[in-house]
Copies of this chain bind each other. A is one copy, B any other.
Amino acid sequence: MRFIKNITLIGAPIKIRMVIKKMQKITGNDLKKEFTLTDAKPGESLTLRATVHKFKPMGGFAFITLRTGRYVLQAVYSPDNCPDSVEEIKEGVFAEISADVKEEPRANYGIELSVRRIALIHKPAELYPLHVSKRRLGCTLDINLDNRSVALRNPFERAAFKFQEGVVSGFREFMLQENFTEIHTPKIVAQGAEGGANIFSLDYFQKNAFLNQSPQFYKQAAVAFFDRVFEIAPVYRAEKHATSRHLNEYIGLDFEMGFIDGMEDVMNMEIAMLKHMMGYLKEHYAEEIRITGAQIPEVGDVPVIRFEEAVKLTHGEKGKNKFDLDPEDEVFLCKWAQENHGTEFIFVTHFPSSKPPFYAMNDKEDPRCALKFDLLFRGLEITTGGQRIHDYDEQIEKIKAQHLNPDDFTYYLESHKYGLPPHGGLGIGLERLVMKLIGQPNIRQASMFPRDINRLLP
């Protein structure tokens, strides 16, 4: 027992042991199960606990729609088959139901429950303020978000977040399979990874601190000891604009990999990951694809266009002084890729090197360009990535070239000083990806409890 040292027994354990007459023990063997479809076999019976999603009396009998954590089931109640009253059974109550499972091709999943017993577990204080049991809520987004804890009881609304779980799981499964290590890095930091004014500051024990804009510095540091890392964690951007594509707190799917030959290695890894993710969703989240109407794209060969070419394509010669893509450019380029290459994805590469971030490696063949890429999907940038600078002197030089002071980045530069292999990586905005897969018009719908310039509640 090496974990307990120099402990003197105080009190009188032997005598006091008598006080505890029957010592209860927890074995971990008696687990409550959550309902899944495999539990509902026609011809057999089952007992489940669920929320009453809808109650429809039909005169002599009643339809009871039950909502479990993932499914919506049809049940039929008739006093002939069940001795219990349904007087208290209505939308929103919680109940325990024993039932026979019948085949019923017209019902969800081809099954219907014939209720044998029904018991109220708990009833809410008030009726739902929204049309939870309708196919769509039919309210404005603001009302939806103001009543989020109720709105998400609507099967269409909640399905987006079960689907989100699939996106995250597909990403993670692929990363682990390719021997990336999952890491957790601090969000309270002494400096932001992206610089600029778009950063939240806080008081950290009388010190000035910030909420990290990306795990960039830490995942680069981790490449030196794990070669390949990924992180799934919140990212903070204090952007003041209120658009349909920005959140102030979102989930970043980040990875970083060492020993690359160029940023194409990172791009290849992303495309292979997306292929895996889409297959994963089709295999495990068919239910949510059906409910949300998500369109799972074919991830084939993805065309690559240089920023300079992209700008010519969108703006002709007038685009000469542009340093970034506008939202309209992203829409245009995706339309172009669809029409000319039959794909919903397009990479834009080689952005101007004068632009942040300072950690992007300049192209040796044309130092006006950085080895940086965006992946566009259905009209929206869903990824930013690239090859990073690994050489210490080169990094110091670029920090200076962007009018920053290397002394402000001492800890960050230690990784470079003591050696980093050539490396690169990317960050994917989870909510943007989900939004585009499902076809939601506003990114707030893809965030369970969104944070924007006006919204800090619920």
- The chain B residue with its CB closest to the CB of A226 is B69
Q: Tell me which residues across on chain B come within 8 A of A168, comparing CB atoms.
A: 182
Q: Verify A94–B309 contact, CB threshold 8 A.
A: no
In the bound complex, CA of A127 to CA of B414 (Å): 11
Among candidates B200, B257, B414, B418, residue contacting A203 with C-beta atoms closer than 8 Å? B200
Tell yes or no: A107 within 8 A of B by CB. no
State the number of copies, please: 2
Q: Verify B418–A269 contact, CB threshold 8 A.
A: no
Among candidates B11, B305, B448, residue contacting A313 with C-beta atoms closer than 8 Å? B11
Q: Tell me which residues across on chain B come within 8 A of A316, comparing CB atoms.
A: 10-12, 16
Q: Which of A25, A233, A260 has the most CB of B within 10 A?
A: A25
With A30-B268, A418-B149 in contact, is A181–B162 under 8 Å at CB?
yes
- The chain B residue with its CB closest to the CB of A430 is B184
Q: Verify A29–B202 contact, CB threshold 8 A.
A: no
Q: Which of A80-88, A134-142, A335-343, A399-407 contacts B (4 or more CB under 8 A)?
A: A335-343
Tell yes or no: A153 within 8 A of B by CB. yes
Q: Tell me which residues across on chain B come within 8 A of A414, comparing CB atoms.
A: 147, 149-150, 458
Q: Verify A267–B26 contact, CB threshold 8 A.
A: yes
Question: Which residues of A232-277 have CB atoms within 8 Å of chain B's CB atoms?
Answer: 233-234, 236, 238, 240, 248-249, 251, 257-261, 264-265, 267-275
Among candidates B29, B165, B227, B271, residue contacting A68 with C-beta atoms closer than 8 Å? B227
Q: Verify A32–B260 contact, CB threshold 8 A.
A: yes
Q: Which of A34, A69, A234 has the most CB of B within 10 A?
A: A69
Q: Verify A25–B190 contact, CB threshold 8 A.
A: no
Q: List 13 A-B contacts (CB under 8 A).
A: A4-B331, A10-B314, A13-B313, A16-B313, A33-B178, A122-B420, A126-B418, A148-B221, A158-B225, A186-B249, A188-B200, A188-B451, A233-B234
